[in-house]
Chain A
């Protein structure tokens, strides 16, 4: 069952207060929930819709446009692997396959210990440092297999 904590409520009030129309607070609220739970469940969509006088379908529709909102439970660390041109030319595909093998999950999957979720992502605007990946809010650029090992081991 999804509920907002009193702290969330305070946050929501603050966020909604920023906009002339309630509906505009949709993305910040989705972000708020994702930060808290790691993903956005259908119940959460209903709850957010209830706060903003939007139908759950509308919330889902907006959410489905953004690939960085997750609809299924995620691990503690969400790894977003850029696969656009600069990164790809620098070997992103191989590194992604390496990461996927190392973690023992498919792209889009979550490890059994609920630690890592691996996703392929469109350009994350760090082309100068490709290949790159994003782990939660941190960008890791100029990746090599050794560097990936180091990063993942430091998190594990």
Chain B
């Protein structure tokens, strides 16, 4: 073949052509030849310690390991010659030397590479007839992972995973040599965000899922190929159940989304689907007591009550507060109910401002790796979108991608960054405008406002200009006020730089944030980013509810009492409503206030499509069966009871069909096209507003600016105290800059009281330069911490920080 990048080789007399640099073990797969491996994993790269993959290469004096040998022109490889067979049998004999034969008890039994390889390539007998090593059996490596050191064959997949993939070096081999063992530093718990993946990659039953231990055999499980519903990455996962009970969750590699990994929240954070706090029955509240009703009757009642209120007070008096956690189908139907049937534009799903569409390309996860520069704006992927965090780490450490960070707080990714600039809390608009100006005509903005020195701004501008392919990752939820418009302006400025290829990922943390916007759960846009008459945004709805102008609200999987800024004020406003309908899967602070309650199935039980932050639409399959009606049926009942032309949907895909017909950008989304790896939806149109004026942050005389930081493991409705991930929960802390701490007389570990808006939050002081002086960062660690109560709902919140 003339192609320079292709190499011809022969494996077991079969010719094969593969790209240069391919490893023999991968080349063999091309022609269906199996070379057994233990230590090799395609995501971890060559290592060659287990010796299982020995093959014979002509003209090589000795056998060579196929997992470290790259293909060379005209190589002749044999994998089944007597010499190789003998070697394989010998290696297995040694591997099994100290491996206990407790396969009937072992959780890996049935899906164990060691078992399979021994069956296929082993000799069936052993000459090693002496006592096996007597190592520690059940040892907790962390509250969620149990290690059985007897079973370990020292392939070092887990330690390499910890080093290469999660970049933590938390798992290591101690006492390297004959007595080597997998350990953490001084046997501290192995508690990283992605620790669970070592369970999947362990080729033996050494690392096991503590929750799943001895519960079921692998072949007994009903595996549903579903999606994770925690963050906006929408990682692919397999939900294994037995007799309709959740057993375990595993990765389901999809290189276009998750690269084969899931975070611990995905793996261990699904206890809520069998929680006691689930809302399973529809109910109406009569005289303070909840009365159980049929869900469809309740739906009809909701529809009737809403239309009655519309008739009486006009369509502006009803509103819909959706959530970015619903599927596209559910959100689309709600949008249809409120926009088309009830005739209101009061729809929203978030407390920040955002607009659909991007002035530049919508990039997906793969572009993070192929870009030259990743620019993170206001995003903290480690806490918000863990798998994006892994992807960025991979890009930086193994693909040579540069990382630039522009944020108001220091994040875990800072140590990988080429340049990390921290702007003042609340000065995001000014910082983005300074960067846009810098890129367009030079200039660095006012350091006293942005908090970024002219020099740093200049190097950031240079870095972006010199990046041939720039991938901007921004978190709209972290931007204050109307800064999102400034960000979109910045994106178009970057797009106009000559010789630059660029795109952006709108990295909002919630599961289906992109889908919710595409489905038109916005006050000013219909599905597909089509502008609509402006309705009320979420915060405006709360305001109007407070003043009594808004009469009815329907909450879908939303809990404003806890999650919205304002706290007590929100609660009071909701109490003021004539009708509050809550359609949710869990009992929440908001559902306690509801007049009518509808049960929602939620992840695990529901099915539908979701759109991830990279714009990829994937199908979330049902994992467990329920007798409850699917959410889309309840919503369509509401629509049909009011509409003159009822549309009956038989499956959720009927709704998907309607979406693909009606929603611009979703034309090619159908059951078939999204079946395997999902499909990227066409970019939706972007409406570029005028470049906004930078909002002036009124330097109020009271206290410090407040930044509420997202945390991955928060004690909320999803992860309860009994969750296996409870060891990740943190006490309430406040990060104070050293300068401010000196002014306020705080020292590390002091108790502080933060107060604003009549709310008080107690927190432990942590002196760190996580943000610039003049602000404090409070990570949201629990629902009952009440930190959102401090926020005012305006663009920047101020808090008074005192000693407690």
Contacts and interface: CB of A to CB of B under 8 A. Distances in A.
Nearest to B188: A57
Contacts of A58: 163, 169, 172
A145 interface: no
Interface in B24-80: none
A100 interface: no
A64 interface: yes
B174 interface: yes
Nearest to B168: A55
A65 B168 CA distance: 20
A60 B172 contact: yes
A65 B176 contact: yes
A45 interface: yes
A75 to B, nearest CB: 23
A65 B173 CA distance: 9
A141 B633 CA distance: 89
A60 B185 contact: yes
A123 to B, nearest CB: 15
B186 interface: yes
Contacts of B174: 60-61, 64
A65 B180 CA distance: 9
Contact of A57 (B170, B175, B176, B415): B170
A72 B164 CA distance: 31
Nearest to B173: A61
A60 B186 CA distance: 8
A128 B163 CA distance: 43
A57 B184 contact: yes
B87 interface: no
Interface in B628-676: none
A8 B709 CA distance: 38
A42 interface: yes
B114 interface: no
Query: Which of B170, B174, B175, B185 has the largest count of A CB atoms less than 10 A from its CB?
Result: B185
A58 B172 CA distance: 6
A61 B172 contact: yes
Nearest to B185: A57
Nearest to A46: B185
Contacts of B172: 55, 57-58, 60-61
A56 B168 CA distance: 10
Nearest to B159: A61
B183 interface: yes
A61 B168 contact: no
A54 interface: yes
Nearest to A65: B176
B177 A57 contact: no
Contacts of A45: 185
Interface residues of B, number: 16
A17 B172 CA distance: 27
B175 A55 contact: no
Contacts of B175: 64-65
Interface in B154-200: 163, 168-177, 183-186
A15 to B, nearest CB: 21
A58 B173 CA distance: 8
A42 B172 CA distance: 15
Contacts of A64: 174-176
Interface in A35-62: 42, 45, 53-58, 60-61
Contacts of B168: 55
Contacts of A56: 185-186
B41 to A, nearest CB: 20
Nearest to B176: A65
Interface in A1-58: 42, 45, 53-58
B420 to A, nearest CB: 16
Interface in A63-84: 64-65
A149 to B, nearest CB: 35
Contacts of A42: 185-186
A122 B169 CA distance: 29
B156 to A, nearest CB: 11
A57 B172 CA distance: 6
A55 B170 CA distance: 7
Contacts of A57: 169-172, 183-185
Interface in B403-459: 415
Interface in A89-124: none
Query: Which of A45, A56, A61 has the largest count of B CB atoms less than 10 A from its CB?
Result: A61
A25 to B, nearest CB: 16
Contacts of B415: 53
Contacts of B186: 42, 56, 60
B177 A65 contact: yes
A147 B75 CA distance: 64
Contacts of A54: 169
Nearest to A55: B169
A62 B176 CA distance: 8
A148 to B, nearest CB: 30
Nearest to A53: B415
A56 B163 CA distance: 12
B162 to A, nearest CB: 8
Contacts of A55: 168-170, 172, 185
A57 B173 CA distance: 9
A53 B175 CA distance: 22
B350 to A, nearest CB: 37
Contacts of B177: 65
11 contacts: A45-B185, A55-B170, A57-B170, A57-B185, A58-B172, A61-B172, A61-B173, A61-B176, A61-B183, A64-B176, A65-B175
Top 4 nearest A-B pairs (CB, nearest first) are A61-B172, A55-B169, A57-B185, A56-B185
Given A57-B184, A58-B172, A60-B186, 9 more contacts: A42-B186, A54-B169, A57-B171, A57-B172, A57-B185, A61-B172, A61-B183, A64-B176, A65-B176
